[in-house]
Structure 1
Amino acid sequence: MDLNSVKIAPINSKLCSKQSHRPYAVCWIKEGITCIEIGNHLYENVSNSIFFLNPIHQWKIIRNNNESTGFIMYLSKEVLETPVLKNLHINKVRLFHQDEIPLFKLSPGIEKRIQSILEMIDELSGSQLNHKEEAILSLLNTFFVYCDGQCNIKSVVSNYNAKTNIVYNFKKLVDKEVCEYHKVSHYANNLNISSKYLNECVQEILSTSAKSIIVEQLLMRSRHELKFSNKTLKEISFGLGFSSPDYFSYFFKSHTGINPSILRKE
């Protein structure tokens, strides 16, 4: 693989596709972008989103300030066809679509991880380290898994509707309040909708239930605390909003098949 076929650049000026030799492009927009123009369509309100742009597209990013507002990663077809990436969902569902443009609205809490991955890819590309090609491909694999996981909200730009906004706001609330509130009804009330309608929106956009989103967040935080902190099980239990260590252990084992104490010893 030609390492020059993976390039990352900050969005710190107006960027557009080139007329010749246009590569595949992954555009992560953070803040400060007025809009992105793809073909003859102008898309606004795209902060905190990722676009997958096929070489066939002509596109232009329009900024409204002088600060860095995201990253753009250029990839060759050769990279996407390497064995590590070839069988990923990105190729199976053709995220780099020629017609509709897939949009990934990143969930809260994922942005820093995405940025770290892109920065590590960029650092490796400019290094002289041994086995850096394998490392770059591994990071690209991780990047695409994050983009395609249930931790992100997918839609199509042409069909970015009210239900997608509800799901995004729900996930934002869960990220902020899951250590205090575990019930779907709490989040539905905060969004001024019924629990039934919230579940309907989550099911349509993410093909899962609202409760499973809450459970997923609790499990992710539980695993992190158990493996990377010195807190006692009691401290972790109460810190995550469980009524007792016994109930926390029951919750964790029922969803993972193992006791939290066993994970801590691994």
Structure 2
Amino acid sequence: MEDMDIEVENMPYSVTSGQIAFLGPQKHIVFSKTGGSNILCISFSASFYERSSKDSLFLHSQLFFNYHTDFFVAPFSNIEQMRVIFMERLEAFRIKDENLYVSAAHNAVERLILDAFLYIPNEEIKKDIKFDYLHYVNRFKILLQRDYKKEKKVAHYASELNITSRKLTEMTEYVLGKTAKSIIIEKVISEFKKTLAFTSYTISEISYDLGFSDEGNFSNFVKKHTGKNPSEMK
């Protein structure tokens, strides 16, 4: 309900008043200092929300697993209505009865999700229909967010998902149009670029943080996949 700045995975973003930002799991988030108390953060687990196949579709959709940016932003049509739903109404249920409060919270979150679905492109919603592929690819992205610094082989993530490397790549190619290997490489390169741009770390420090044994190996990796030396990307 007021403008704010937020940092997601070392990338700065601005969210204007009247917007809702949806962020998926395993994201490192830093909120800026704000002048007032009109910013509401709603955090919930999959186990809290997921009650049906419809709920699963929502949780694995572009809202929480956006493939173009670290988060998805949608406008909210009535700010005062949002205040009533998420502050006054939920507080009344919390005081009244715990079970009623949980049900009311689920319904309130679903209201936000449904409204935001109006702003997802139709072609992205069609992708979400092949839910089994979407489910595995999103789990792969969660694991990658957790392990990319130490694990860079497709076999590791396939093993964690109890599927073959070939099957994981088939799924990522269907959902994202890219191989699992290329997604891992892009993640490492992207994190390098963000860290280089938004921190004071040296290339040597970044290479160590990203799990490379020495700066030479890291430089070869970057050169192979970008055509540039790390020092040329500042």
Paired AA for residue 208 in structure 2: F
For each residue in 1:222-258, what CA deviation from the matched residue of structure 2 results, as whole angstroms up to 9, or x when unmatched?
Answer: 0011122222222111110112101111111222222
3-state DSSP of counterpart to 2:140? helix
Paired AA for residue 189 in structure 2: L
Equivalent residue for 2:146, pick from 176, 180, 187: 176
3-state DSSP of counterpart to 2:105? coil
What's 1:155 paired with? 127
Cα pair 1:179 1:239 within 8 Å, conserved: yes
Equivalent residue for 2:54, pick from 36, 43, 56: 43
Cα pair 2:158 2:168 within 8 Å, conserved: yes
Equivalent residue for 1:164, pick from 134, 138, 142: 134
Change (3 A) 1:201 1:50: closer
Equivalent residue for 2:172, pick from 202, 215, 221: 202
Shift of 1:197: 1.4
* Unaligned 5+ runs, structure 1: 1-6, 12-28, 37-41, 52-62, 81-89, 104-153
For each residue in 1:119-138, what CA deviation from the matched residue of structure 2 results, as whole angstroms up to 9, or x when unmatched?
Answer: xxxxxxxxxxxxxxxxxxxx
Change (3 A) 1:155 1:73: closer
State how far apart, in whole Å, the 2-side matches of 1:171 and 1:231 are.
26
Identity of aligned pairs, percent?
31
Shift of 1:65: 3.5
Cα pair 2:189 2:222 within 8 Å, conserved: yes
Alignment of 1:3-22 (within 5 A): 8=18
1:262 matches 2:225: no
Question: What is the TM-score with the length of structure 2 in the denominator?
Answer: 0.54
1:213 matches 2:183: yes
CA RMSD of aligned residues (A): 3.8
1:233 matches 2:197: no
Between the two proteins, the alignment pairs up a number of residues equal to 155
* Unaligned 5+ runs, structure 2: 1-16, 22-41, 64-101
Structure 1 moving runs of 4+ over 4 Å: 7-11, 29-36
Alignment of 1:15-164 (within 5 A): 31=44, 43-45=54-56, 46-47=58-59, 49-50=61-62, 64-66=103-105, 69=109, 70=112, 72=115, 95-96=121-122, 102-103=124-125, 155-156=127-128, 159-164=129-134
Change (3 A) 1:243 1:74: closer
Paired AA for residue 189 in structure 1: S
1:244 matches 2:214: yes
Higher strand share goes to which structure? 1
State how far apart, in whole Å, the 1-side matches of 2:50 and 2:166 are.
35
Change (3 A) 1:263 1:30: same
State how far apart, in whole Å, the 2-side matches of 1:74 and 1:203 are.
24
Question: What is the TM-score with the length of structure 1 in the denominator?
Answer: 0.48
State how far apart, in whole Å, the 1-side matches of 2:183 and 2:43 are.
23
For each residue in 1:151-191, what CA deviation from the matched residue of structure 2 results, as whole angstroms up to 9, or x when unmatched?
Answer: xxx724xx333222111111110011000101111111111
Shift of 1:74: 9.9
Higher helix share goes to which structure? 2
Cα pair 1:188 1:198 within 8 Å, conserved: yes
